[in-house]
Amino acid sequence: MKDREYNQPYFLKIDVDGLEVKILNGAERTLPLCSVVMIEADKANLVERLSFMLSRGFELYDFAEPAYYDDAFWQCDLIFVNVAIYNRYFRRLEDGLDISKYVVFR
């Protein structure tokens, strides 16, 4: 990874059943060094966690393992990429949406 100039640590995953933001607040020196951060979010705190990470220089890249209860969204893991890394290595949809590449998972 050194040849790609990724920051260290490369990946940080936090899943502590509701204390993610509290832990991230305590990681103020470590967080800027991370390239990718994954945190759990549920329907009650998704916006709070998204806002927190965006305000600290991260871009939402994807979400994983969405869970549903009674056919309604319940929780998922949010995957964030350090915005400097994101802008350098990930392609945005600047040329429009190619519908043939669009896939819905359920």
Kindly state the helix (H) or strand (E) to which residue 11 belongs, with its residue range: strand 11-14
The single-letter code of the amino acid at 45 is N
Domain ranges of the chain: 2-101
Closest listed residue to residue 56, CA positions, set 29, 78, 77: 29
- Count CB-CB contacts under 10 A for residue 20: 22
pLDDT one-digit tens code per residue, 60-87: 989 899 889 998 888 999 999 998 877 7
- pLDDT, position 90: 67
Kindly state the helix (H) or strand (E) to which residue 84 belongs, with its residue range: helix 83-89
Residue 26 Cα distances to 17, 31, 55, angstroms = 16, 9, 15
Task: Enumerate residue ranges in the chain where pLDDT < 50.
Answer: 1
Whole-prediction pTM: 0.74
Closest listed residue to residue 52, CA positions, set 70, 16, 27: 27
DSSP state of 5: T
CATH level 2 (architecture), domain 2-101? 2-Layer Sandwich (3.30)
